[in-house]
């Protein structure tokens, strides 16, 4: 008797009706003798390790589920492996599944010349599920957006129909240890819900800021600073150096309160909404997104607004931005901690590239990089005579000009261009490695 026949005749009957039913469902998928033995061991408790079922729980082929190694994006394979182990543990403790042991799973895949860590498509996952003889299989991805910001996703796939039964995601802010402790538990809780049941109400961006002048957007974890209502003299105030003609005449402007992005929009935040990263410089989550046009920024805003509830985002107006840059309309020239041009206090006058957002001290209102790093798109059309006419309460230029305003200067800018007062401009479709944006939110 050959080895395969022996295991089919001896080991499988001892495993019970669950394995026999499982084998009947396999159809034409080739079945190795090692696969048969491992599946039998998994259901009878012969094998040891991480698989199995909590003591006293039911066991059936229908509940048998396999968890493939989560795909690592930005994270190391070691981190992804640890996260996979924690997810398996949480799913097992839910009492709803029998899990194929991880070592057994690897042995089966090795026999079938498959590598679970490289099996990222749904087609591959279904193939693996058929090889294993399970009805359900869990796949997923762990994305490290930065050292303290993670995005987890997982899905349960019905192997017989190749359909996704449930797909969930979980964003977590914190170190890796906190992710293993809390983030995976929250992801698993969503995953084991009955289809159609509401997802648990958990914060994915860490605790809300206790400061009432700060607010955190829950999808991107973008922080906003409340800029209070006020009046100020917009433009080339007395004593301001290096002024251009379009910064005159000075006009008194009255503004309502507005929430302003604490930093420029980062590459991580952009990618979370758009899905790709257009930046020319080091592609890292905490660097500002650049190489984006005014039109690109509007698309980001539309998508973010479509996924937000009760709040609406937009680009700042020129008047709002200058007021915020000057720390509430103070007679200062730059959006730095000192209110002056200083390469030690801002990413300016440089020949290399951008810096991570919030690398330098904030200005008087707690806003970072108001001078330098990347030039920021405004909502306004460029009007060289904007200060000579029009409303002075919450003003915005929305004329027919083919150009839009840019403010703040970039990593490359000199003392003049990086002033709070300077009004640069370009076409809405212009992209460049010195150009990004920050968001405003209505109260």
Average pLDDT over residues 47-67: 51
Mean pLDDT, rounded, for 157-167: 81
- Read off the pTM: 0.58
pLDDT given for residue 108 in this prediction: 66
- Candidate from 64-73, 100-109, 279-288 with smallest mean pLDDT: 100-109
308: pLDDT strictly greater than 50:
yes
Backbone angles phi, psi at 38, to 5 degrees: -65, -40
Range(s) of the chain covered by CATH 3.90.1580.10: 208-443
* Rounded (10°) angle between helices 102-111 and 33-44: 170
What is the structure's pLDDT at 436? 98
pLDDT number for residue 203: 45
CATH fold label, 3-191: Rossmann fold (3.40.50)
Where in the sequence of the chain do the CATH 3.40.50.10070 domains occur?
3-191
At 119, the pLDDT band (50, 70, 90 cuts) reads: low
pLDDT tens per residue, range 206-237: 777 889 999 999 889 999 999 999 999 999 99
CATH top class, domain 208-443: alpha beta
CA distances from 425 to 295, 379, 430 (A): 14, 11, 10
> Three-class SS of residue 176?
helix
Q: Which of 368, 366, 256 is nearest to 317 (CA)?
A: 256
Chain segment 179-200, per-residue pLDDT in tens: 888 888 888 887 886 444 444 4
Lowest mean pLDDT among 89-103, 361-375, 394-408: 89-103
Decide if pLDDT at 406 tops 90. Answer: yes
Q: Which among 95-104, 203-212, 387-396 has the top mean pLDDT? A: 387-396
Which percentage of the chain shows pLDDT scores above 70?
A: 79
**Angstrom distance (rounded) from CA 321 to CA 315:** 9
Q: How many residues does the chain have?
A: 443
């Amino acid at each position: 008797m050959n080895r395969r026949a022996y295991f089919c005749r001896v080991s499988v009957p001892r495993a019970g009706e669950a394995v026999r039913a499982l084998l009947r469902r396999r159809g034409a998928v080739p079945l190795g003798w090692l696969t048969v033995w491992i599946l039998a061991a998994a259901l009878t408790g012969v094998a040891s390790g991480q698989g199995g079922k909590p003591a006293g729980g039911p066991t059936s082929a229908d509940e048998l589920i396999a968890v493939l190694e989560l795909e690592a994006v930005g994270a190391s394979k070691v981190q992804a492996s640890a996260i996979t182990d924690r997810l398996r543990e949480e799913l097992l403790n839910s009492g709803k599944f029998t899990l194929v042991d991880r070592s057994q799973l690897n042995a089966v895949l090795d026999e079938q010349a498959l590598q679970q860590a490289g099996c990222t498509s749904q087609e591959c996952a279904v193939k693996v599920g058929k090889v294993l003889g399970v009805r359900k299989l869990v796949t997923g991805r762990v994305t490290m957006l930065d050292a303290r910001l993670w995005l987890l996703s997982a899905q349960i796939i019905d192997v017989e129909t190749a359909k996704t039964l449930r797909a969930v995601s979980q964003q977590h802010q914190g170190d890796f240890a906190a992710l293993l402790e809390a983030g995976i538990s929250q992801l698993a809780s969503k995953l084991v819900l009955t289809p159609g049941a509401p997802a648990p109400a958990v914060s994915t961006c860490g605790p809300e800021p206790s400061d009432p002048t700060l607010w955190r957007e829950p999808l991107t974890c973008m922080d906003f600073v409340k800029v209070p209502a006020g009046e100020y003299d917009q433009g080339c105030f007395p004593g301001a150096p290096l002024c251009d003609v379009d910064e005159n005449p000075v006009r008194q402007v009255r503004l309502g309160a507005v929430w302003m992005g604490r930093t420029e929009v980062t590459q991580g935040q952009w990618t979370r909404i758009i899905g790709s990263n257009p930046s020319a410089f080091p592609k890292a989550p905490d660097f500002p997104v650049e190489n984006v046009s005014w039109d690109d920024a509007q698309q980001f805003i539309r998508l973010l607004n479509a996924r937000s509830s009760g709040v609406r985002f937009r680009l700042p107006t020129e008047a709002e931005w200058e007021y915020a840059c000057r720390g509430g309309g103070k007679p200062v020239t730059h959006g730095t901690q000192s209110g002056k041009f200083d390469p030690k206090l801002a990413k300016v006058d440089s020949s290399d590239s951008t810096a991570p957002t919030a690398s330098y001290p904030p200005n008087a209102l707690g806003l970072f990089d108001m001078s330098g790093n990347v030039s920021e798109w405004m909502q306004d059309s460029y009007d060289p005579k904007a200060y000579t006419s029009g409303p002075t309460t919450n003003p915005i230029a929305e004329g027919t000009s083919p150009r839009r305003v840019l403010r703040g200067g970039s990593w490359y800018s000199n003392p003049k261009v990086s002033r709070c007062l300077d009004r640069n401009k370009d076409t809405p479709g212009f992209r460049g490695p010195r150009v990004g944006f920050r968001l405003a939110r209505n109260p």
